[in-house]
Amino acid sequence: MTPRNLPRLGATALALVLGATAVHAEDIAEYMDFFEPLPYLPPIPADNSMDQVKIDLGRMLFFEPRISASGVISCATCHNPALGWTDRIDRAVGHAGQVGNRNTPTVLNSGFLGAQFWDGREPDLEGQSLGPIQADVEMNMSLEEAIQRLKEFEVYQEHFATAFPDDADPIRAENVALSIAAFERTLNTPNSPLDRFLRGDVQAMTDQQVEGMKLFVDAGCVACHNGPALTDSNYYRFELPSSKDEGRFLVTGDEYDKFAFRTPTLRNVAVTYPYFNNGSVDNLHDAVNLMADQMLGREFAEDENDAIVAFLHALTGEMPAVEIPALP
């Protein structure tokens, strides 16, 4: 049974339950086909299996501030578990209080993305994870120094040796990347109201959220925001007031990519404000209006906007329960 089949089962259930009420089950079934429930795990790369030892090591490294120049900034500083695994400020604040150019994306469900960073400059979490350690406005530490610091701890010597038993020199940047990426692939948020709705729990979304779901499809939002994480991981240009960031162009040098950014996931969008590449939009109503104007060339009426925002709230899933590791 593939996830694609589940909406149909849900529709049958809907028809049985709702009968001839105001909600037309068969009609909704067509809409539901545009969506997929979020799996509990994203695709696992063949060269980075998910074992508990590696995941636990990745969790330690994710919370480890000693691999930053200041000694107080870790991945978890900007990807803060208390704040939807992001920071809820406009643009990231890193080493020595420097402010980066872009808004911190959430780590939640990032294993479902086809490319990492706003500009997609890394294909996967393994590639992404080493970036912020080295960025001078983030953790500001060379990988050589980071590895040296980790090697000073017996606990890390043991954990790396256990996680990478065939590696003669296990404390290496590549293994840091593999571990952090393996941990991040556990940070998923299944069972949102949408997911439960798609699986047949017809009460999981309100009528307004169902209306929003239909509008989301009919207006064309779903053209880019699709798949389990509601992103096609593709790049689109648009004009964000207050931003001069050339986005994907800085990666490809292709004029076509100027001001283009990767479609962000809409999973947990209600708890991962503010929005867009520079975090300049604070609330979902404004974000939806901006997207309507820029990507769809239309305006939503106030009740339509409200319905779509209500639907976006139905994308908030169960947060992963992560224990803070005891670091050496």
Residue numbers of the site for a second copy (CB under 8 A)? 63-66, 70-72, 77-78, 80-83, 87-89, 93, 95-97, 319, 321-327
If you ran DSSP here, which 8-state letter would residue 131 be given?
Answer: H
Smallest gap, in angstroms, from Cβ of residue 93 to a second copy? 5
Minimum CB distance to a second copy smaller for 156 or for 235: 156
DSSP notation for 256-321: GGTTEEEPPP-TTGGGS-SBSTT--B-SHHHHHHHHIIIIIS----HHHHHHHHHHHHTT--PPP-
Smallest gap, in angstroms, from Cβ of residue 77 to a second copy? 6
**Residue 319 is assigned to a ligand binding site:** no
Chain centroid offset of residue 61 CA? 19
**Residue 225 is assigned to a ligand binding site:** yes
Q: Which residue, among 15, 36, 33, has the nearest Cα to 24 in the 3D structure? A: 15
Minimum CB distance to a second copy smaller for 72 or for 296: 72
Smallest gap, in angstroms, from Cβ of residue 5 to a second copy? 33
Smallest gap, in angstroms, from Cβ of residue 86 to a second copy? 11
Spatial separation of the C-alpha atoms in residues 210 and 35, rounded to whole Å: 13
Q: Is 138 a catalytic residue?
A: yes
Instruction: Tell me the torsion sign for CA atoms 160, 164, 166, 169.
Output: negative
**Residue 79 is assigned to a ligand binding site:** yes
If you ran DSSP here, which 8-state letter would residue 69 be given?
Answer: S
Minimum CB distance to a second copy smaller for 45 or for 320: 320
Smallest gap, in angstroms, from Cβ of residue 79 to a second copy? 11
Minimum CB distance to a second copy smaller for 66 or for 262: 66
Query: Are the beta carbons of 246 and 240 closer than 8 angstroms?
Result: no
Query: Are the beta carbons of 315 and 268 closer than 8 angstroms?
Result: yes
Spatial separation of the C-alpha atoms in residues 190 and 187, rounded to whole Å: 10
Of the candidates 36, 64, 126, 138, the residue annotated as catalytic is 138
Minimum CB distance to a second copy smaller for 45 or for 65: 65
Active site residues: 138
Question: Which residues are annotated binding-site positions?
Answer: 75, 78-79, 95, 221, 224-225, 291
Question: Which residues are annotated binding-site positions for heme c?
Answer: 75, 78-79, 95, 221, 224-225, 291
